[in-house]
Structure 1
Amino acid sequence: MSVTVDVKNLSISFGDGPAAVKVLPDVSFSVNPGECFGLVGESGSGKSTVLRCISMLTDFWKGEILIDGRSVRDIPLIQRCRMLQMVFQDPYGSLHPRQSVRTVLHEPLVIHKLGDREERMRKAITDVGLPIAFLDRFPHQLSGGQRQRVAIARALILEPSLLLLDEPTSALDVSVQAEILNLLQRLQKERGFTYIMVTHDLAVVDHMCDRFAVMLKGEVTEILPRDAIAENRATHPYARELVGASLAYEGRA
């Protein structure tokens, strides 16, 4: 189920004329099949924008984004939605307050004309560690961690090959963060997903990712393997400072 992702010379600007702001000047990286690839950096560095470009939620970018060698622009919408799904940062804002969990999971099955809907919904909700009875609950009846599990179930129900994770644990308590990360790790091992994960937390990278790119002002400064964190083998000044600050914080903690 895993796919390759190649991002080549990705750039995007917001605004027109002299007032236009180039958010991503020139981003390139590749993700191997079944790999968890991290995008890290300070707020405003362009991490989430990269995910929005890959998912085509933002479509006026320039450059090339290939999934298994095929341009994401050439993949029909219905097929693209089956191939990739996104889990957003805010578990409170990503679910409709007036829709039950059953409705949230049922809708994509109807859109994609998939059968065995009740069975698929039951499997999706249990795969993320929630009881089947939760299908009839509403978002206000769920904790933050439970809402994020529902959001992950919604992403999984179409059986995608690529999951885009936009800081999926940053709005959660520390203990719940660990549960969600362990859940994502287990699902990747079981199904062989390719993950691209945006985070500002290098502890999350160390737990989840095989490699990660450090971003600064819309540019990739350096791509490192996970084991480069412990000894801070970064060479770019900003990447080295970022990893060093994270290690110093963990040391104090």
Structure 2
Amino acid sequence: MKSLSVSDLSVSFGALQVLHEISFDVRPGECFGLVGESGSGKSTVLRCASMLWSNWTGQVGIGDADVRTMSPSTRCRTLQMVFQDPYGSLHPRHAIRTVLSEPLKIQGVGDRDARMAQAMIDVGLPVDFLDRYPHQLSGGQRQRVAIARALIVEPDLLLLDEPTSALDVSVQAEILNLLAKLKEEKGFTYVMVSHDLAVVDHMCDRFAVMQAGRIVEILDHQAIAGNGASAPYARELIAASLEYERIA
């Protein structure tokens, strides 16, 4: 497991600045959340940290290494990302065996059949699903495959971009429990984007509240139950979530 450090991360799209000097640290083995309304910049932080978007300023480090100076192979072996949409993140014409074997081929990892079988077992899917195609799987099963693809190269850091928001509520719980189990067993460090504070409370040790491309406050997850935030926006966000849960 490795730490993640983000310092003065800023992003502009033309004249529009979408991230303003974002800074936070994630301890090894910690699950750190990013919450806030849509458009606050949460997913953009993950895309910068993973170098899916490279036109940013500031510093992002994993352990002692700067992500900008890591080779693509090393970076992809060190961090992986699970996307929001399990329907769009898997190639519709590739069997699950192909989906899982490609990262191993790229990284030059041997014993591929055994690793693919173990990855399927780790995410709670039958090994014979390797010969199925994405359209033959449910949304929850597809997301399990996406998680298997991320963990098959044994990364230190997983970036989770709303990994359950496109799923039914009952399936969401299954995926969250799976992620918690994998973190405990394999010692992953997580950064999780979510708009659902119940998910953050269940999964995260700490979380940052974002508004308009800025971090307004960083809190322990215990602050949710009693609304222990001090920043006005963070208090309003938590209060709205608590009120929604009370009504529901």
TM over 0.5: yes
How many Å apart are 1:26 and its aligned residue? 1.2
User: Once superposed, what is the RMSD of the aligned Cα atoms?
Assistant: 0.5
- Please identify runs of 4+ aligned residues in structure 1 that moved more than 3 A: none
Partner residue in 2 for 1:23: 18
Structure 2: tracts of 5 or more residues without a match:
none
Q: Which amino acid aligns with 1:221?
A: V
1:14 aligns with 13
Q: What's 1:153 paired with?
A: 148
3-state SS of 2:86 partner: coil
> 2:69 is matched with which residue: 70, 74, 89?
74
Secondary structure, in 3 states, of the residue corresponding to 1:73?
coil
State the Cα distance separating 1:12 from its structure 2 match. 0.6
Aligned counterpart, 1:116: 111
What letter is aligned with 2:247?
R
For residues 20-52 of structure 1, give each alpha carbon's deviation from its aligned partner in whole angstroms, at most 9, with x where no partner exists. Answer: 210001100000000000000000000000000
Deviations 1:95-150 (A, max 9, x none): 00000000000111111111000000000011000000100000000000000000
Partners of 1:106 and 1:6 in 2: CA distance: 31
Q: Offset at 1:206? A: 0.5
Give the partner amino acid of 2:203: M
Structure 1 regions of 5+ residues with no counterpart?
none
Name the amino acid aligned to 2:85.
Answer: D
> Residue by residue, what CA displacement relative to the aligned partner does 1:172-191 show, whole Å, maximum 9, x if unpaired?
00000000000000000001
- 1:26 partner amino acid: E
Secondary structure of residue in 1 paired with 2:55: coil
Q: Which residue pairs with 2:90 in the alignment?
A: 95
Task: Tell me if 1:246 matches 2:231.
Answer: no
Q: How many residues align?
A: 248
| Alpha-carbon separation, structure 1, partners of 2:67 and 2:109 | 23
Deviation at 1:54, TM superposition (A): 0.3
What CA distance in whole angstroms lies between the structure 1 residues aligned with 2:64 and 2:247? 45
Indicate the residue corresponding to 1:185 in structure 2: 180
Could you say which residue in structure 1 is the equivalent of 2:37? 42
2:3 match: 4
* 2:203 corresponding residue in structure 1: 208
Determine what percentage of the aligned residue pairs are the same residue: 69
TM-score (norm 2): 0.99
Return the alpha-carbon distance in structure 1 between the equivalents of residues 135 and 161 of structure 2.
22
Q: 1:69: Cα distance to partner?
A: 2.5
CA distance in 1, matches of 2:95, 2:166: 21
Calculate the TM-score normalised by the size of structure 1.
0.97
DSSP-derived class of the 1:159 partner: coil
The one-letter amino acid paired with 1:176 is V
1:160-239 to structure 2, matched below 5 A, reads 160-239=155-234
